[in-house]
Structure 1
Amino acid sequence: MTRVIHTGDTHIGYQQYHSPVRRQDFLDAFGAVVDDAIDGDVDAVVHAGDLFHDRRPELPDLMGTITVLRRLDDAGIPFLAVVGNHESTRGGQWLDLFERLGLATRLDDEPVTVGDTAFYGLDHVPVSRRDELEYAFEPHDADYAALVAHGLFEPFAHADWDTETVLTESDVAFDAMLLGDNHKPDRATVADTWVTYPGSTERASASEREGRGYNLVRFDEAAAAGDDRIEIRRRALDTREFVFVSVELGEGEGEARVREQVRQHDLADAVVLVEVTGDGDPITPAAVEEFAADAGALIARVTDRRTVETDEAVDVSFADPEDAVRERIERMGLSTAALDVDATVRDDGVADANVRETVKSAVEERLDDPGAFEPAEDSMSDGDESDEDAEPDAGKHAEPDAGKHAEPDTDGTHTGETGADDGTESTAERDESAPGADGQVSMEDYL
């Protein structure tokens, strides 16, 4: 029998809502998982990617993570992990550093046996490079086998990776796939194999309303009733309280009604997210946020979903500034990615506080398509050819000599992970000088 904690998407270093307290929350949630592992005397902690939120974690985040991993190591519990798309760098991975410190094992196509179960790993691989994968794994002689992978697999939300292809083309018959990338916990069976996500350990966006936690997985002939040899149980984590307040304003109702609804909740040290709809009077979001903060909220954000309509017809006798700007932009011959950024910045439907995160998401979704960053032909001077971006290391399965698996890109589809309601600025956004048009950086660049 083998008992492991299956976790992932810890996103350590995420300063959500620009709050240092929230940043600490993400590290504390990872620490809580490790505490449970030690208290429960499990055989291993299996992490399915995105240990860090950013490719350039800051020193306090690195040191905090090392401290937590040392507690696990002191207890004699191995930490097995793969690399997720958020944390991947062009050269060596942070997971490699922890492995050299003796605090982690980076899973790949060779089995790592714990108890009677062989564990394998598959880092995140960009969609554009998955056709190169051969899913070739070394054989094992354990009773069970599990593949730990990071990506959006079928049949779950936002899927772009065919799970059945992985299972049927693999050299190894897997009893389970322990996944990361989707922040919503879920499970299913594909080709008679358990496939499961543990979900994120902290709420990375306002869309993640359910409680956070992890999976406790037991590989045992008698693990469950019937023919199942694997038992997957959900365990909850005690994380920062989120209070969601939805207010629909009727005619004549306004800010007083919003405050009345907010004060009905216990706001102490909570993240309070207020959404306003309906036909009522205009409100001042900042005033409501200040009211919630005075009531003890750690963070308060108000989103007014209403659109203001007017019956007045405005006849402008001079050129519309928007049309003029749009015409000028069209003549500039910008790349597709640049046009996405422009559309987001000038979109009235995107709140000012959310522009940075929305722009980041739009760019990340284009990373699999290098052509999206090429300027239009008519914008390039005669004879000017841009250098092709350096091809990231494709990994062991994509290119035999390239190292461990494939280098992740960022897809920004983790069930709301980009946090359109968050208004959060990530490290990647703060450092616009990071080398590499694909958003990848090397550890050498970092150091």
Structure 2
Amino acid sequence: MTRVIHTGDTHIGYRQYHSPERRADFLDAFEQVVADAVDDGVDAVVHAGDLFHDRRPDLPDLLGVLSALRTLDGADIPFLAVVGNHESTRGGQWLDLFESLGLATRLDDEPTVIGDTAFYGLDHVPESRRDALEYEFASHDADAAVLVSHGLFEPFAYADWDTETVLAESTVAFDAVLLGDNHTPDTAQVSGAWVTYCGSTERASASERDPRGYNLVRLGADAEAGDDAVDIRRRALETRPFVFVDVELAEGEGLDRVRDRVRERDVADAVVIVRVTGDGEPIAPAAVEEFAADRGALVARVTDRREVEAETELSVSFADPDEAVRERIGDLGLSEAARDVDDVVRGDLPDSNVREEVKRRIEDRLDGADGVGPADGDGEPGDAPDDGNVGGDDGVAANAPDTGPEEDSPATDQDGDGQLTLGDSR
């Protein structure tokens, strides 16, 4: 029997709510996974992508991950992983660097055998490139086979990847598919294989109310009592508390009622999310946030879901206001980059994520990336650029030129901005 921890979507480096404490929380959660792996003596830690939140992690986050991987290496526990959409670069991946240091294995179309189980990897691949995929994997002689991948697979929420097609066209019969990208843990059986998401290890969004954690997976003929070769158990992590305060204001109720509801909860060192509904009086979100901060909250955010109805009816007609705005912007003669930023500012992203997404898109243009997509810092799956592929000797897509530094210097601070960029380390 092979016992592994299945984790993913650790998003290390995410400075949620612009809070340095929240940034540290994401690394802390990953370190908890590593500590559990050592204490439990598992055979491997399998990471299903988005180890980092950004493809250009800051040095403290990079050093923190290296320290955690050295802890696993010291306990003789292999770290097996694939590349997610958030951390993908056009050249070599950070995972390649860790592999060159002997601290990780980047899974691909060749089997990596741990115990009596063969592990394979499929990096995140944008939907537009999937029709060209050939799910050809080298044969193995292990008792069980597992595919590790990053993407939105059926039959789970937001799915755009047909799991049945992957399993049917693969040259290896997989007993389990261990996934990352969807932050909600879930498990289903598809075409005889167990398919599971481990969920994120920290709350990357206020929509992620359930406890965070990872999967403990047992593989092999004697995985558990019974005939099934796969057993999946959920384990919770101790993460920073999120306190959700839902307030429905009756007519005549206002700020005092909201404060009373916050006062009822233990908000010390917590992220406090207040959601206001009902027919009560208008409130000032800043007053609620300040009140929560005075009671020891790390961060407080207020969302007022109410719609204020005008006392008088106004008759205003636009043929297509969005089109009118687009035409006016077109008349301004803005550059493509400026229009890209305008799309983000006027798009559907939450206000708290706009600055980070603009920064991501500008960095992608400066680095010569071939496309960008929305960040998923709000917890929804994203489409950041990815060069994922099935296997390959150099670990990058065949049509992706190597724009990084020379091979003898895989990590350099080319910009002088204190951030490392990675070339092709293979």
Query: Which TM class, normalised by the smaller chain length?
Result: 0.7 to 0.9
Please report how far the alpha carbon of residue 308 of structure 1 lies from its aligned counterpart in structure 2 after TM superposition: 2.4
Matched, 1:163 2:157: no
SS in 2 for 1:46: strand
Structure 2 residue 384 is the aligned partner of structure 1 residue 395: no
- Counterpart in the other structure of 1:130: 130
- What does residue 21 of structure 2 align with? 21
Structure 1 stretches of 4+ with a deviation exceeding 6 A read 321-324, 333-340, 358-363, 368-372, 405-408
Query: Which residue number corresponds to residue 268 of structure 1?
Result: 268
Q: CA deviation at 1:138?
A: 0.6
**1:331-410 correspondence to structure 2 within 5 Å:** 331=331, 342=342, 345-346=345-346, 352-353=351-352, 355-356=354-355, 395-396=389-390, 403-404=395-396
Distance in 1 (CA, whole Å) between partners of 2:324 and 2:131 is 44
Sort the Cα spacing of 1:41 and 1:402 in 2 relative to 1 into closer, same or farther, 3 A: closer
| Greater Cα shift, 300-309 or 176-185 | 300-309
C-alpha displacement of 1:337: 9.7
CA contact (8 A) 2:143 2:220 kept: no
**Partner amino acid, structure 2, of 1:37:** A
What is the one-letter code of the residue matched to 2:110?
E
Contact 1:5 1:214 in 2 (8 A): yes
Whole-angstrom distance in 2 between the partners of 1:282 and 1:335:
41
Distance in 2, matches of 1:39 and 1:248, equals 45
Q: Determine if the alignment matches structure 1 residue 443 to structure 2 residue 384.
A: no
Judged with a 3 Å threshold, the aligned counterparts in structure 2 of structure 1 residues 198 and 337 are, in CA distance, closer, same or farther, namely: farther
Counterpart residue identity of residue 101, structure 1: L
Count of residue pairs the alignment pairs up: 388
- Aligned equivalents of 2:370, 2:397: Cα separation in 1: 20
Task: Specify the alignment match of 2:230 in structure 1.
Answer: 230
> Which string of whole-angstrom CA distances, capped at 9 and with x for unpartnered residues, describes residues 166-220 of structure 1?
1111111111001111100000000000000110000000110000000000113
Q: In the alignment, is residue 85 of structure 1 matched against residue 85 of structure 2?
A: yes
1:221-277 C-alpha deviation (Å, 9 max, x unpaired)? 232344211110001101110000111111111100000111111101110000111
Q: Aligned residue for 1:181?
A: 181
Whole-Å Cα distance in 1 between the matches of residues 212 and 33 of structure 2? Answer: 11
Q: How high is the TM-score relative to the length of structure 1?
A: 0.78
Quick one: structure 1 residues 286 and 249, their matched pair in 2 at CA, closer, same or farther if it must change by over 3 Å? same
Deviation at 1:325, TM superposition (A): 5.4
CA distance in 1, matches of 2:86, 2:202: 15
The residue matched to 1:95 in structure 2 has which SS?
Answer: helix
TM-score, reference length from structure 2: 0.82
CA distance, structure 1, for counterparts of residue 346 and residue 84 of structure 2: 32
Classify 1:371/1:29 alpha carbon distance in 2 versus 1 (closer, same or farther; 3 Å).
closer
Structure 1 residue 360 displacement after superposition: 8.2
* Contact 1:29 1:237 survives alignment (8 Å): yes
State the alpha-carbon separation in 1 of the partners of residues 291 and 398 from structure 2: 48
Equivalent position SS for 1:63: helix
- Closer, same or farther: CA 355–59 of 1 in aligned 2, 3 Å: closer
Residue 108 of structure 1 is matched in structure 2 by 108
Identical amino acids, percent of aligned pairs: 70
- Measure the CA separation in 1 of the matches of 2:386 and 2:352: 33
Deviation at 1:394, TM superposition (A): 6.1
Partner residue in 2 for 1:277: 277
Q: Which residue of 1 aligns with 2:203?
A: 203
Render the CA deviation track for 1:18-43: whole Å, top value 9, x for unaligned. Answer: 11111110000000001000000000
Do the aligned residues in 2 keep the contact of 1:88 with 1:407 (CA within 8 Å)? no
Q: Distance in 2 between matches of 1:186 and 1:328?
A: 46
Q: Does the 8 Å CA contact 1:90/1:407 hold for their aligned counterparts?
A: no
Report the counterpart of residue 60 of structure 1 in structure 2: 60
Which 10-residue stretch deviates more, 275-284 or 328-337? 328-337
Q: Which residue of 1 aligns with 2:411?
A: none
- Pair 403,121 (structure 1): closer, same or farther in 2 beyond 3 Å: same
State the SS of the aligned residue for 1:29. helix
Correspondence 1:143 to 2:137: no
d(CA) in 2 for partners of 1:103 and 1:81? 11
Q: Report the secondary structure of 2:57's partner residue.
A: coil
**1:282 CA displacement:** 1.1
Alpha-carbon shift at residue 311 of structure 1 (Å): 2.6
The CA distance in 2 between the partners of 1:357 and 1:187, in whole Å, is: 32
Do the aligned residues in 2 keep the contact of 1:91 with 1:442 (CA within 8 Å)?
A: no
CA contact 1:392–1:407 (8 Å) conserved in 2 = no
- Let me know the Cα RMSD of the aligned residues: 3.5
Secondary structure of 2:149's partner?
Answer: strand
* Separation in 2, partners of 1:102, 1:74: 11
For residue 375 of structure 1, what is the aligned residue in structure 2? none
